[in-house]
Structure 1
Amino acid sequence: MDLDDIDHRILRVLQKQGRMSNAELSEQVHLSASACHRRVQRLESEGIIRGYVALLDARRMGMPTTVFVEITLSAQADEVLEAFEKAVSRIPDVLECHLMAGSADYILKVVAEDTEDFARIHRQHLTRLPGVAQMQSSFALRTVFKTTALPV
């Protein structure tokens, strides 16, 4: 799908404030309300806009600890990868899982209440993942920068 300057403006605004009304959005992107509404519907139907979410503050939700876990699997066969991916997707504390090129096969982003809670997650979930040969965890000391907005 070809995106023009107006589409980019709409996407930039919605990434920062997704709950605004169509009237507010159309005013910010300098477009009539009906034309703006049609464009947003097109962006949604084309899958450019996948959905709308509320971004929660992990610290205020009692999960201030972020841990990045590097996973190396015992094999690279499709069935091993599929079994791992299916199992890891069911762990509620895992926010992200990325298949990697490099020293680790996967990197997980895990949230926890504290180190004891991470020890529980590790013991109850991570150690039981299929096909894992090696695991290394790194605790984030502080989040310097974080965004969900793509550069458009």
Structure 2
Amino acid sequence: MIELDAIDRQLLRALTQDATQSAGALGRRFGLSQPATWRRIRRLTEAGVLKGRRLRLDAEALGFTVRVFLGVKLSRKGQLSLEDFERAVSAIPEVQSVEHVLGLFDYRLRVVARDLPDFERVLRRRIMTLPGVGEVEANVLLSEERRPGPLGAEADPVRP
């Protein structure tokens, strides 16, 4: 595990908010030179703390206004490879994430759809037809709040 100082935590929070910021801009913001900032970012990347930079699309702005969490219980765990299910369900474009979990269900899926009839189509024609799918429980997301990441409130606040 890598030791993080206050500047490392500030850099991580700043990059979490906008990963496109340059090392020069971040350095100016936190009182570092561009090379010093770049070395810190490279060290965090090499340590596995930073795992790439991803673009997040706004599903609602693209017309996908329904978001659903599905609990999926497999009916034949012994006959069906978990990897086969994961591969098949991951190929469905509306499935945004696939999480193997402990508890009542075997998997938790995050699914987006344009509306409820579209979600029903995805559920009936794509998800329920996958081999091994048994019980399914749907929870429609009503609202979503951004929560602090693992750095939490105990870390030094990021300057604007």
Alpha carbons of structure 1 residues 3 and 78: separation in structure 2 relative to 1, 3 Å? farther
Q: Which residue of 2 aligns with 1:84?
A: 85
Aligned residue runs from structure 1 range 109-128, under 5 A: 109-128=110-129
Which position in structure 2 is the counterpart of 1:10?
11
Contact 2:71 / 2:137 at 8 angstroms: preserved in 1? yes
* Alpha-carbon offset, residue 79 of structure 1: 4.6
Identity of aligned residues (%): 35
After TM superposition, the score normalised by the length of structure 2 is: 0.84
CA contact 2:27–2:34 (8 Å) conserved in 1:
yes
Corresponding pairs, count: 150
- Following superposition of structure 1 onto structure 2, how do residues 23-102 of structure 1 map, counting pairs within 5 Å? 23-77=24-78, 79-102=80-103
CA contact (8 A) 1:80 1:130 kept: no
The answer on 1:145 being equivalent to 2:145 is yes
Partners of 1:77 and 1:150 lie apart in 2 by: 37
Gaps of 5+ in 1: none
Q: Does 1:134 align with 2:109?
A: no
Q: CA RMSD in A?
A: 1.8
Flag as ranges the 4+ runs of structure 1 deviating above 6 A.
none
- Partners of 2:2 and 2:47 within 8 A in 1: no
